[in-house]
Amino acid sequence: MENRWLKRVGYGSGDFACNLVFGTMASYLMIFYTDVFGIGAAVVGAMLLYTRMLDAVTDTIMGLIVDRTHTRWGQGRPYFVIGAPFFAIFTAMTFFVPDLGETGKIVYAYITYILLCCAYTVVNIPLNTIVPRLTSNIDERNKLVASRMIFALLGTAVVMTITSPLVEFFGQGDQRRGFFITMTLYGVLAMFIFFFTFSQTREVVPPAVKIEEKSNIREDFKALTSQVWVIVALNFLYFGLFVIRNSSALYYFTYNLGRADWLTFVGFFGVLSGLPILLVLPKLQQMFPQRRLLIAFAITYIVGDLICWAFSSSAIALILSLTITGIGMYGIFGVTFAIQPDVIDYSEYKKNRSISGMIAALQGFFVKFGMGVAALAMGLIMKMGGYIPNVEQSASSLFAIEVCFLWLPIVICVAIIIAISFYHLDAIRDEMGKTLETRRKQLAFAAQN
């Protein structure tokens, strides 16, 4: 008999593995490249954006591959085992600082970062596709997604809490050595976690369409619905918010507030403050529509940011701000991923076509594109402000950091509210599930006769 809790832990832990590296990239990659690796902020921002262009190709290819994979292990699960070793190797390579000139370093950074993004695509696209294949029960889906969000948050919390101490411990004053050893450990641990995810998940829900109908790529693109573009926009905006918030926090608390000693606490508390909302999110989703919840969480984040702006000199207010913004951010995170299985089902329901891989590919691309745009915007703003690493900052530089930490996230939250206003699957969620289940039974009956 299937152990639901073990399945939830197995599936959720896959995002813990992703966030050991993804969380580090979102929070430390910018400052690693500028202050340790030794290349300029604007160059880093441009690199993080330009490398996303290749993701448009790799993510789409991976999505098409998943849609056309049919093995006894399922469509997505095999890639957890295939991609995990490469994910570990390229993580270590990305955080290795070669003894090259400035141009050589930039070339090396481009190559290794692109390889890491490709490895991430191989393991993450399948992770995004398999929920509709794990169960057709709406409540259980919400719990699986909540489990994933909780493990993702824990992974980010681990990164924000122990990365700096580990870098210092392993480096003993040499940050290059410290980052390389720390990230090698993260990569190896992620690899073994993906093996565990493979072992504890089973794809038991077949598509509600005939497999033979999935051979035409052009038809796959035609099966994209308006709701796909809603979730694509939400992913682009949320992960832009995630990168800007986490990256700029390091600068804001170090230079603007003069509280560098708070960084470990900020990383730990700012992330785990979102844990309570993820624990109760499945219950809230039974009580309120997804659209209403997302709007409420975006407003919550804005309130938390304004508290930080108004009372930044108060330690109590800063803690309150971190709590409120954590609830808002991870509430947005949880709801965004909770609507994904419904968007996948909607293409089967409306277009009679199974394109979970294609949808996940678009999400994956816009996640990375959003991160790239955010990094570029932050790099350009800090360059315009005159930021210089490891020195006392000018007034213009401090203002640029404040813009990144406080005001850009507010603009993004407003955009999230606008985007979710176009989501309309709450009203037909139950009807859609019943219709698809009927189609699956009809296909199974036809196959037996």
Max mean pLDDT range (148-157, 288-297, 340-349, 362-371): 288-297
**Average pLDDT, integer, range 163-176:** 90
Dig out the tokens for 39 from the structure. 């290349």
Residue 281 near residue 175, CB atoms below 8 Å: no
Residue 334, C-beta contacts closer than 8 angstroms, at least 6 positions apart: 145, 146, 149, 277, 278, 281
Residue 326 near residue 271, CB atoms below 8 Å: yes
Pairwise CA distance, residues 445 & 7, whole Å = 28
- Whether residue 126 is predicted with pLDDT greater than 80 in this model: the reply is yes
pLDDT score for 358: 82
Average pLDDT, the chain: 86
Convert the pLDDT of each residue in 220-243 to its tens digit. Answer: 788 889 999 999 999 999 989 988
Q: 264 or 74, which is more confident?
A: 74
Convert the pLDDT of each residue in 384-441 to its tens digit. Answer: 998 887 788 889 999 999 999 999 999 999 999 999 999 999 988 888 888 888 888 8
**Average pLDDT, integer, range 283-293:** 92
Q: Which long-range contacts (CB under 8 A, 24 or more apart) does 50-57 make?
A: 50/372, 51/110, 51/113, 51/114, 51/117, 51/372, 52/117, 52/365, 52/368, 52/369, 52/371, 52/372, 52/373, 54/114, 54/117, 54/118, 55/117, 55/121, 55/364, 55/365, 55/368, 55/369, 56/365, 56/369
Q: What share of the chain in percent tops pLDDT 90?
A: 35
- Whether residue 244 is predicted with pLDDT greater than 70 in this model: the reply is yes
- Whether residue 210 is predicted with pLDDT greater than 70 in this model: the reply is no
How far apart are the two ends of the chain, measured CA to CA in Å? Answer: 28
**Average pLDDT, integer, range 311-325:** 88
C-alpha distances in angstroms, 401 versus 234, 305, 369, 397? 24, 14, 22, 6
Q: Mean pLDDT lowest for which of 26-35, 221-230, 308-317, 343-352? A: 26-35
pLDDT score for 178: 93
- Whether residue 146 is predicted with pLDDT greater than 50 in this model: the reply is yes
**Average pLDDT, integer, range 37-44:** 84
- Whether residue 209 is predicted with pLDDT greater than 60 in this model: the reply is yes
Per-residue confidence band for 137, with pLDDT thresholds at 50, 70 and 90:
confident
Pairwise CA distance, residues 303 & 291, whole Å = 19
C-alpha distances in angstroms, 391 versus 251, 264, 387, 397, 403? 12, 21, 9, 11, 19
Q: Which domains, from first to last, does the chain contain?
A: 4-442 (1.20.1250.20)
